[in-house]
Structure 1
Amino acid sequence: MVAVHEPRAWPKHREPDQPESPWPAGTTVVSADSHFLEPLDWTDYLPPKYRDRGPRGYWDETGFHMVADGFSLDNPGFPSEMIEGRAGMWDVELRIRDMDAEGISKDVLFPQRTMGVIRNDDHEFIAACFRAYNEIVMDYVEPHRDRLFPIGLLPFWDEASVREGGAQLKELGFKAMMMPTLPPGVFYNSRKLDGFWTAVEEVGLPLSFHVGETFDARGLGGLATTIVVAFGGFRRLWSLLTFSGILERHPSLRVVFTEGGIAWVPSALFEADKVYKAFESEMNPRLAHPPSYYWFNNCYATFMDDVPGLRQVDLMGADRIMWTYDYPHPESTLGYTQESIQACFNAAETIEDGQRIVGRNAIDLWGLDD
């Protein structure tokens, strides 16, 4: 018999999931990934020469849209009202109200549309958009700087841009930063970028990568196919950062793979170690440790609800994974957050491990109590 599953309501129609009972004493619930919908007007944040080209948002009967320099930053095939329709995405007080209702103390915020500007080939323009976004999102969280922690956008094409962008992030008070997963024309494993990675490490902030910079979900089955593939997309990037020696050469670099779940991690670690043993004579560069070592030294991953992943916590480390409610996307735990958090405690060997997964790891990684 085929099981029939009750579809979840769109996020804008969900009711927050009120905690029925407190979690174990000492538990602080932190979401390691949610989203902020950029404003309609960026004029005041952009240099005069980019104000006509810069990002601009608008609403119509089909939902929210954004354009930049003549390019649409929409994701074809994704209904905007479904993924961007809850007002807390842009109204900070409504966001805090939803967090309070679901028992979430702190949240880490990622952009919704801005990373789409990487499709432009004008690096100076991209840098201006990133700087503007960083100021915009810091203004958004200003009333709740003790609870909302935005991810800053870091330029990704050369050492000089990283150093300039990193200086802005530290000046504005960011605790976290991100770069695109698959930037056009940039090869993260090129030896020409050795200085670039040194600069990234020296910024001193954990570096996040996030699924879904660009989506095209048109055609039959396109929406679901695109999402399923995106959620499995970090096996390649982790392998590249590991086998290229980037993580070995930069041992203090902390990397967070965001919204791709955690089920991919154990199989990737196993296969990477197996491949390294089988092809060690051909490895370039030769690593000082098995590939899995660099996961436990440098890396983290986030998830919302991940049944197969939570069954394998011992293979990736309870100190390496972080729960998130991904507010307010359709796959968000909004409306069933308590069930999702309970699954983390059920999977953990100890209460302390459960507390790490649902909050303590994020607090320690990003210094959210500082």
Structure 2
Amino acid sequence: MNFNFSEEQQQLRDTLDRYVRKDYGFEKRRGIIHGDSGWSAEVWAQLADLGVLAVGLPEEHGGLGGGPFDTLLVMEALGRGMVVEPYLATVVLGAGLVARAGSEEQKAEILPAVASGDRRLALAHHERGGRYDLSRIETSARRDGDGWVLDGHKSVVLHGAAADTLLVSARTPSGLSLFLVDAGASGVTRRDTPAQDGHRVAEVMLRSARGDLVGDEGAALPQIELALDHAIAALCAEAVGGMAALIEATVGYLKTRKQFGVPIGSFQALQHRAVEMYLHAEQARSMSYLAADKLGASDAAERRRAISGAKVLVGNAARYVGQQAVQLHGGIGVTDELAVGHYFKRLTMITLLFGDVDHHLAQFGEAMSA
């Protein structure tokens, strides 16, 4: 497999890295997450101006026609800056679903607005008690004239309060289906909650809320599974970016913190720990590349093996790198004023999102024995 990036991809990476370092510093991020909305409309507009929101969308609908590796580069850069704006929820999950399953009319209406930053999306799928079982859905939808009416309760909707449009999964007579629901419409109630990592999640209640069917009735589960595989691959790339930033901060600290009159980085035992951090991060990078590559596999089982394998290895690496970074910084590693603890929280949340290490290890074992 050739993982060499094109000149355009290198330019995308460099542009985003410069933006994160120059315009999305840690103090700015702290101000954003403590604001009322938990994200910045100004930053969102800047990402749109840079073309970031259009990277993974089809060219015929206002996008740049990029693939999984372009999304990987974006997510890695966003991971370096711990960017809290709803890129994963809107572009990877929401717009990805519309692009693959929506009608031409839905694509033409929604995707250009996502690319320009004028519309934000969120996938409302998971429910209480469902854990990682994607088919365990109790929200229902019934026909009402030419449309559908939905009733149910969705939990942990990523950036659900920031969304203009929700993609809601619900049971219909033919099986699991997907619907577009206006987030501000009658019958939709959202309760916004800050998560431990600074991102926002929402509880979404639907009471006779009207929705428009996306794709064929009863055919949503494979599309949702594919969308979540794309999201997991994107999260793996984000974790790689976060680990790289943690290693950079930790090595810098080891070079400047002194004990007994010398930098603690001169102690061989600490050098070995820093090297181990780097090795774990590089293994995670390789697996994130493999996951991105396998998103295009025609065999769904092959794709899921790669995704689960990446989630396991990246999750273990993120935990190791995060723990070492905190320990090597000593007591200040867990203070709110230092970025290290915030990276560790985000890496921990990434490890849990869409299936923890134990879940994906079991999935990988089942896939290998099938």
Please state which band the TM-score falls in when normalised by the shorter chain. Answer: under 0.3
Query: TM-score of the superposition, structure 1-length normalised?
Result: 0.26
Query: TM-score of the superposition, structure 2-length normalised?
Result: 0.26
Higher helix share: 2
Structure possessing the higher relative contact order (Cα contacts under 8 Å, 6 or more residues apart): 1
